[in-house]
Amino acid sequence: MYIPKYFTPKELFPPEISIPINGKFDPRNWRRFDERILMMADQIREDHGPMTGNEGGLTGCGFRLPIKKHATIHQTCWDHYDFDTLSQHPFGRAIDGHPKEKDVFSIRKSIILNRFKYLHIHFLEIDIFGKNSGKPWLHFDCRNFTRGTNGAPQLWSPKRGFVSVDEYLQWGDK
Ligand SMILES: [Zn+2]
């Protein structure tokens, strides 16, 4: 089992799991994650400096629980309705990072250009900005997906759909 070096349970789990009623985080919860995405999160942290998950009132930057009323943490996520049906967060295959030092565009660029180092990152969201803060965040995931040009991750924008590596490297976010 891979336990991340740089991220605490609070940063990657919702409070129901990171701060359970008995007050003690159960380390078996790390099994909810695909270990590849935890390894990639540590790699980004090592290469690009401090990066947090949940912070400033945000939750769900890592693993997300289903929010249906009857749902409990013991249920699977097959019946989650509150997220995009292809969201990888309820399956523990995605993380939203909030870098402190480097800007998000330069980190995405490094992931695109160093595809062997970031082998397990298959998908990056681009053009995403916090509703209140206006700040971009770094969504990366290891979904089962065909890689893009020359093995680079697929780049997807909620505004533009799939965007080519060349276009993104030249023009950045929109
Ligand atoms: Zn995300």
Residue 64 inside a domain? The answer is yes
Cβ–Cβ under 8 Å, residues 46 and 70: no
Residue 25 inside a domain? The answer is yes
Range of the domain at 66: 9-171
As residues whose CB is below 5 A from the ion ligand 1, the structure lists: 94, 96, 139
CATH number at residue 38: 3.30.1380
> What tens-digit pLDDT sequence spans the chain (174 residues)?
999 999 999 999 998 899 887 888 999 999 999 999 999 999 999 999 999 999 888 888 999 876 554 455 555 444 444 556 688 998 999 999 999 999 999 999 999 999 999 999 999 999 999 888 899 999 999 999 988 888 899 999 999 999 999 999 999 999
From the CA of 62, how far away is ligand 1's center (Å)? 7
From the CA of 143, how far away is ligand 1's center (Å)? 12
Q: Which of helix, strand or coil describes residue 80?
A: coil
d(CA 141, CA 147): 12
d(CA 18, CA 37): 18
Structural domains counted in the chain: 1
**Is 0.85 surpassed by the pTM of this model?**
yes
What's phi and psi for 148, nearest 5 deg?
-90, -160
From the CA of 104, how far away is ligand 1's center (Å)? 14
